[in-house]
Structure 1
Amino acid sequence: MATERVLVTGAAGRIGTMLRPRLAKPGRVLRLLDVAPLEPAGQDEEAVVASITDLSALEEACAGIDAVVHLAGRSGESTWDEISALNINGTYNVLEAARRQGVRRVVFASSNHAVGFHPRDGDEAPDYLFPAPDTYYGVSKAAGEALGALYHHRYGLDVVCLRILTCAERPTDPRALATWLSPGDAARLVEASLTAPSPGFRVAWGVSDNTRGWFSQREARALGYEPSDDAEAYAAELTAQFGEPDLALADHAFVGGPFTTSVYDADRQIADRQISEA
């Protein structure tokens, strides 16, 4: 059996750390790329220290690779310069390096924040919602999806964009009762995205099978995703702590939740970070 080689960018990050052991399987080598040094766990892992801002390094990292799981970038709001350099230009570099090296597929970690200003209108949030970003970060994810579409239609690259919601070990607030993506389900979704036959260009929500969820799972399931987890297992604990969710609040009224509020204005985020680092 031929060995499959998968490059994971941002492998030392929060989601990368969750996925690393869960994507390991016989016949697959994970090439782990990050600016932070990583120790390979065994013969089925390779570590690469590089930045997604370095196209030459990415092209080298993509050599011999079958698919890329692109997680790297600035997580959360920041300055336009940082967001554009890491999240937009960095995603271009990943796609261009993949194209140059003949990689067949890229799975892109997009975000609900690409469509954050879409309101909750009582219906299920459909797949392929038109971009309505709530932050510069959200803009970068919408741009990444657009780049993925270009690289599919012009160059034939399979690109699966996953609009990831609250990916965490467990839900920690009432909003997450609807938006939680468990680590296990995150791995199942990425695995489906890696193995679906000829997916073309796809956009799918990254969310578990939550009782209170209001996000379509049709496109994800069409890829072969079968979620196993439900945030409702934590509902009694969270509602006892926080009360029942107030659906009139931005946390629950918009796809982007609190990112749609003034708290996430870029200038305020930067000022708050400077204070915390002082």
Structure 2
Amino acid sequence: MRSESPILVTGAAGLIGRRVTELLVQAGRAVIATDRAAPAQPLGCEFAAAELSDGMRLTALVARRPAAILHCGGISGQMLAKDNPASILSINAGGTGTLLELARLFGVSRFVFCSSVHAYGDTPQAMDPVTEDAPLAAREVYGASKVAAEAALRAYALEHGIQACALRLGWVYGPRRTTPSLTARMVRDAAMGRAVTQVEHDGRYAVPLLHVEDAAAALLAALDAPQVLGRCYNIVGGPSQPFNAIAEMISAVRPNWRAEFTAGKALPEYRQGHFCTRAAAQDLGWAPRVTPQQGLADYIGWLEREAF
């Protein structure tokens, strides 16, 4: 989808939003970037500060009739705002609802929403690989906020004709990640030259890693796809990887580092299988390009060059 009108990117100071903004600017596309505060480094495009709870500010931005909204903003993980779950629902579900209504009012023709595989909750082994038709049974408020936002998106698409879709992103990692995660902690420790990272579980818990470059590429693919009316897509970087396997990939790059897991202590979190990305390949022409081995090695190298 090409247009002279700008593309509005929310969450543009965050990990995914920043990268997709950079790629749009590099491609010569007009962008209005927004987040609650400007990033430390300029994005090379217009920036407007706005909270997702500030309907007046959002209205002023969407009233400029952007060609599309890439909605990357919101509470970005289940590890954040746990002491204020109402804010997670308000920002993630409520903010998305506000933007969908503004998209309807001002005739925005494309809306791409960053959802999460956390919307699924548990996925029994019989579902493996997990397709987009699997039941949504989120186990925490963060996942529930994504389920609610997806339901609103589908209703706006089917009732009001907005070309809107949701991307169920895996566990995103890579340069400039600031929110806490075990993968980021292990990579940072290895890059800093620390010998050991202590992990308070047995390492068998598997997660669907997704490199930030692949996440941004999926957003751009959804932006330009011919038809996405109300669809949801799994976006992951390949088969889920247990943390002990992720640690082995990191130690292959930095042999003087290792993770020390706690034997016999399983994580009390939900269990998910592998996620099928066939629909994204068929409808969006998207497939992951960054392998975990490559992505982790590049992440370590970036930290050594840029962060220390």
- Normalised by the length of structure 2, the TM-score is 0.69
In the alignment, the residues of structure 2 paired with residue 2 and residue 82 of structure 1 have an alpha-carbon distance, to the nearest angstrom, of 35
Contact 1:52–1:58 at 8 Å: present in 2 too? Answer: yes
Contact 1:73–1:87 at 8 Å: present in 2 too? Answer: yes
- 1:189 maps onto 2:218 in alignment: yes
In the alignment, the residues of structure 1 paired with residue 87 and residue 115 of structure 2 have an alpha-carbon distance, to the nearest angstrom, of 17
Q: Which residue of 2 aligns with 1:19?
A: 20
In the alignment, the residues of structure 2 paired with residue 100 and residue 235 of structure 1 have an alpha-carbon distance, to the nearest angstrom, of 43
Q: Deviations over 1:189-217 (max 9, x none)?
A: 11110000022111111212458682111
The range that moved more, 95-104 or 74-83, is: 74-83
Q: One-letter code of the match for 1:229?
A: V
In the alignment, the residues of structure 1 paired with residue 33 and residue 205 of structure 2 have an alpha-carbon distance, to the nearest angstrom, of 29
1:137 to 138, 142, 148: 142
Q: Which residue of 1 aligns with 2:280?
A: 220
Q: Deviations over 1:94-123 (max 9, x none)?
A: 111111111011111111111122233372
After TM superposition, list the pairs within 5 Å mapping 1:159-238 onto structure 2: 159-169=164-174, 179-210=208-239, 214-222=274-282, 223-233=284-294
Q: Deviations over 1:115-171 (max 9, x none)?
A: 122233372111232210020111100001000001101110011111111111185
Q: One-letter code of the match for 2:236?
A: V
Unaligned ranges ≥5, structure 2: 176-182, 187-202, 242-272, 298-308
In the alignment, the residues of structure 1 paired with residue 138 and residue 130 of structure 2 have an alpha-carbon distance, to the nearest angstrom, of 15
In the alignment, the residues of structure 1 paired with residue 211 and residue 106 of structure 2 have an alpha-carbon distance, to the nearest angstrom, of 33
Unaligned ranges ≥5, structure 1: 237-278
Q: Which residue of 2 aligns with 1:57?
A: 57
In the alignment, the residues of structure 1 paired with residue 132 and residue 219 of structure 2 have an alpha-carbon distance, to the nearest angstrom, of 17
Contact 1:149–1:201 at 8 Å: present in 2 too? Answer: yes
In the alignment, the residues of structure 2 paired with residue 58 and residue 235 of structure 1 have an alpha-carbon distance, to the nearest angstrom, of 36
Displacement, 1:17? 2.5
Displacement, 1:40? 4.7
In the alignment, the residues of structure 2 paired with residue 202 and residue 23 of structure 1 have an alpha-carbon distance, to the nearest angstrom, of 23
- Normalised by the length of structure 1, the TM-score is 0.76
Contact 1:8–1:32 at 8 Å: present in 2 too? Answer: yes
Displacement, 1:6? 1.1
CA root-mean-square deviation: 2.6
After TM superposition, list the pairs within 5 Å mapping 1:89-128 onto structure 2: 89-121=94-126, 123-128=128-133
In the alignment, the residues of structure 2 paired with residue 113 and residue 133 of structure 1 have an alpha-carbon distance, to the nearest angstrom, of 6
Q: Which residue of 2 aligns with 1:150?
A: 155
Q: Which residue of 2 aligns with 1:31?
A: 32
Displacement, 1:175? 7.2
Q: Which residue of 1 aligns with 2:194?
A: none
Q: Secondary structure at the match of 2:56?
A: helix
Identity %: 32
The 3 A distance-change label for structure 1 pair 122 and 74 is closer
In the alignment, the residues of structure 1 paired with residue 76 and residue 204 of structure 2 have an alpha-carbon distance, to the nearest angstrom, of 19
Count how many residue pairs are aligned between Structure 1 and Structure 2.
234
In the alignment, the residues of structure 2 paired with residue 70 and residue 235 of structure 1 have an alpha-carbon distance, to the nearest angstrom, of 26
In the alignment, the residues of structure 1 paired with residue 141 and residue 89 of structure 2 have an alpha-carbon distance, to the nearest angstrom, of 8
The 3 A distance-change label for structure 1 pair 56 and 168 is same
Contact 1:95–1:148 at 8 Å: present in 2 too? Answer: yes
Q: Secondary structure at the match of 1:140?
A: helix
Contact 1:40–1:46 at 8 Å: present in 2 too? Answer: no
Contact 1:178–1:231 at 8 Å: present in 2 too? Answer: no
